[in-house]
Amino acid sequence: MEAFAHGFDPTSLREYDIRGIVGATLGPRDAYAIGRTFGSVVAREGGRTVAVGYDGRLSSPELEAALVDGAVASGVEVLRVGRGPTPMLYFASASLKADGAVMVTGSHNPPDHNGFKMILGGQSFFGPRIGELGDMAARGDVVPERVGSVRDVDVQADYVERLARGWDGGERRLKIVWDNGNGAAGEVLAELVRHVPGEHTILNGVIDGRFPAHHPDPTIPRNLRQLIAAVRDIGADIGIAFDGDADRIGVVDDRGEIWWSDQILALLARDVLEARPGSMIIADVKASQVLFDEVSRAGGQPMMWRSGHSPIKSRMAETGAPLAGEMSGHFFFADRWYGFDDGLYAAVRLLGVVARMKTALSAAHDALPKMVSTPELRFDCADARKFVVIEDVAARLADEGADMTTIDGVRVTGADGWWLLRASNTQAMLVARAESASPEGLDRLKAALTVQLERSGVAAPDFSGGSH
């Protein structure tokens, strides 16, 4: 009889997933415990199958093997999908009708990091449920040990075929540069480009968990330098970059100019709303007001929601929204897709939009209203303090009669534009952003934000990083 109990490093239990530094705060024993406890949750809720996949990090095979052992000890059947992007595991979960799913992935984090994303009953497993998993492990609160089973399932060909069905750009052959960033999409991407019309160039296509070319986070401009240079060099129509597990994308146009995620969402929203007029389009609180205005102008219902892929997916399921996105580069299609965030599928749909355009992508960029904004500013604030700061600021602003929303931190709207202050759900940090139609307006917004922070005893972030 197994005597099971396990204590996770408390820093590894996050809002949306479990993650940490391999060898320091995360290791195979943790992976086994996740398999054992999550397998028990699935079994207690009447489930029988758990799909498991892993990304291209050097530590992922060992963690995946331990995770599988833990799940098998809980009596479930493990459907082993193998190495690939996170959305391929999501696809496997949906297409195989698995009761639960776990992806071993460090996403866009440094090479020595790794983690676990979970799905239960087709919905994200996050928030309090992750805390409950930690409590279960500490108490040894698991189903009696019994031997489950393991089955290898190769879904890659089906996944690629399903992705390719998203192409709706006709026969126009775009010139496309892809930057895989040595991430987990490598083999899937190599197959996908054979199904999508165009002239394709793939950078850093080999999966390599050391990420030798650059850090695999396409929302950071310096990580797009290689892509921008290649687009300009060959005269491409568009460049698309993936993060480490390919659930997010970054985009540059034919001039090599970066499209921020809310600008991409505006383009995708117009296209979806042509087929589904009046639909709700969801974006997180960090998105530009331009995005919400563009959705309204296109006949849609804009909805501002909490940041994070798990809250966004849950809100989509509740409202029936066909499309959502967030500033981190996640795009969620429930229109002709499954509702989960998939960088590869979003790329195919975006390429279809571009292929049907009568102008270059850069012309669409020029046509968007021009705003000036800060980048996303992240600055230290103790976990015990960060939410208190938000509550203090919100209370003062309410007393002042400010026009604000508090669905995720505080977003204040005024004559100059808007500013946002929220607590990070994953780090001991506050996050701020501001946007205005003019540099002078942006300065006033930053000053207003600074005043509120100082009144709460917090030093303002460094605004010298410029604006975009």
List, for residues 323-381, the tens digit of each pLDDT value. Answer: 999 999 999 999 999 999 999 999 999 999 999 999 999 999 999 999 999 988 889 99
Task: State whether CATH 3.40.50.300 applies to domain 10-154.
Answer: no
In SS3 terms, 254-297 reads as CCCCEECHHHHHHHHHHHHHHHCCCCEEEEECCCCHHHHHHHHH
Active-site choice (107, 124, 288, 373): 107
**Domain extents in the chain:** 10-154, 159-367, 372-465
Is 60 among the residues known to form the active site?
Answer: no
pLDDT(408) > 90: yes
Q: Is the pLDDT of residue 245 over 80?
A: yes
For residue 3, pLDDT over 90 is answered with no
pLDDT of residue 375: 85
Q: What is the pLDDT of residues 78-136, one digit of tens each?
A: 999 999 999 999 999 999 999 999 999 999 999 999 999 999 999 999 999 999 999 99
For residue 229, how many other CB atoms are within 10 A of its CB? 14
**One fold for 159-367 and 372-465:** no
CATH of domain 372-465: 3.30.310.50
How many of the other CB atoms lie within 10 Å of CB of 74? Answer: 26
Position 2 scores a pLDDT of 72
Kindly report whether the global pTM for this prediction surpasses the value 0.85. yes
Q: Closest by alpha carbon to 57, among 144, 127, 116? A: 116
- Topology given in CATH for the domain delimited by 159-367: Alpha-D-Glucose-1,6-Bisphosphate; Chain A, domain 3 (3.40.120)
Element (H, E) at 101: strand 100-104
> CA triplet 222, 211, 21: central angle to 5 degrees?
100
pLDDT-derived band at 464 (thresholds 50, 70, 90) equals low
The token duo for 320 is: 């029936």
